[in-house]
């Protein structure tokens, strides 16, 4: 993970996906490792909330509005899937929709 900068590449990939995704498009990410999932979770949370420093403003400028809206909660493989594919046990799916 360190040598190949896998987490750095994942962060770049998430930013790139958000940049090319059209409004209404959905970003779905499957992670297999807790470090990957933490990065995805924080990215989606950061992009789906207004900065706390701006919450007291009467109107938040459109360019500072969230770019994503979270869709559902994280999803894990069903027991039947894990039975057929044991490696799916560690998989987590997170989904967000581009709103801006």
Pairing verdict, β 92-98 and 68-76: antiparallel
Provide the b/e sequence for 54-80 (b: ≥16 CB within 10 Å). Answer: eeeeeeeeeeeebbbebeeeeeebeee
Q: What is the pTM of this model?
A: 0.86
Domain segments of the chain: what residues?
A: 6-98
CATH of domain 6-98: 3.40.50.150
Q: Residue 59: what pLDDT? A: 87
Number of neighbours of residue 87 by Cβ within 10 angstroms: 9
pLDDT tens per residue, range 13-38:
999 999 999 999 999 999 999 999 99
Element (H, E) at 30: strand 26-31
For the stretch 35-81, pLDDT in tens is 999 999 999 999 999 988 888 888 888 888 899 999 999 999 999 99
């Amino acid at each position: 993970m360190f040598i190949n900068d896998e987490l750095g590449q994942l962060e770049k990939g998430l930013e790139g996906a958000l940049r090319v995704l059209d409004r209404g498009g959905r970003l779905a990410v499957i992670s297999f490792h807790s470090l990957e999932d933490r990065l995805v979770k924080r990215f989606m949370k950061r992009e789906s909330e207004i900065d706390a420093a701006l919450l007291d403003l009467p109107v938040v400028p459109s360019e500072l509005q969230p770019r994503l809206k979270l869709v559902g909660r994280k999803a894990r493989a069903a027991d039947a899937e894990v039975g057929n594919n044991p490696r799916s046990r560690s998989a987590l799916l997170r989904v967000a929709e581009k709103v801006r």
